[in-house]
Amino acid sequence: MTSKYAVKLETDFDNPKWIGRHKHMFNFLDVNKNGKITLNEMVYKASDIVLNNLGATPEQAQRHKEAVEAFFGGAGLKYDVETEWPEYIEGWKRLSKSELEKWSKNQITLVRLWGDALFDIIDKDQNGAISLDEWKAYTKSAGIIHSSEDCEETFRVCDLDDSGRLDVDEMTRQHLGFWYSMDPGCENVYGGAVP
């Protein structure tokens, strides 16, 4: 599970755009808008989407649940503990550093494990890659991206080998750049849906 895109990426934690990007996602994840989120909510929401909207098998859903737990656990979220924004963003800094360190050494990252689990579910024709239609079906359920234009923008930004399909390695590469660093080649991973 090595990557052909492994590279050393730098963090840019003081960049207002990096902070704003995560603030946007925090607000999205904080469904009842009380300024706090828990691991329970993250796992419940992610599992609900894959099971009820995307038709995951129980095995696929379990693997996906474990990947989401490990990922948000890596950002410091815990079951039955409410995390507020300042702690959340500090957790993301720790997660980013640890993940970028692994990536620079071509080791397996938590975002890659989540990607593998998720792609297995959304790759409906099981050809090992995500088509635009498969991506649209997923984003409709996930609720982050709303327009077709933004879905198509994901393809433009993430289809690094210009194959017209997304594989998990190129998707991982662009998500690392977008969420953990401010790599200029990773802007607009979600089109206009996430700043």
For position 4 contacting Ca ion by CB under 5 A, the verdict is no
Annotation marks residue 190 as catalytic: yes
Choose the stretch contacting Ca ion; rule: CB under 5 A; options: 20-28, 88-96, 153-161, 186-194.
153-161
For position 163 contacting Ca ion by CB under 5 A, the verdict is yes
CA distance 46 to 54: 11
- What is the contact mask toward Ca ion in residues 111 to 140, using x (rule: CB under 5 A)? ------------x-x-x-------------
Task: 140-149: list long-range contacts, CB under 8 Å, 24+ apart.
Answer: 141/49, 141/53, 141/54, 142/49, 143/28, 144/28, 144/190, 144/193, 144/194, 145/190, 145/191, 145/193, 146/193, 147/191, 147/192, 147/193, 149/191, 149/192
For position 48 contacting Ca ion by CB under 5 A, the verdict is no
Choose the stretch contacting Ca ion; rule: CB under 5 A; options: 74-82, 114-122, 152-160, 176-184.
152-160
CB of 19 to Ca ion, least distance (A): 30
Annotation marks residue 24 as catalytic: no
**37 DSSP 8-state letter:** E
Choose the stretch contacting Ca ion; rule: CB under 5 A; options: 94-102, 135-143, 157-165, 187-195.
157-165
Which among 88, 103, 114, 138 is annotated as catalytic? 138
Annotation marks residue 44 as catalytic: no
Which residue's CB is nearer to Ca ion, number 127 or number 147?
A: 127
Instruction: Determine the size of the site formed for Ca ion (CB under 5 A).
Output: 6
Question: Which residue intervals of the chain are DSSP H helices?
Answer: 16-29, 39-48, 58-74, 85-104, 110-122, 132-142, 148-158, 168-175
CB 129 within 8 A of CB 162: no
Binding site for Ca ion (CB under 5 A): 123, 125, 127, 159, 161, 163
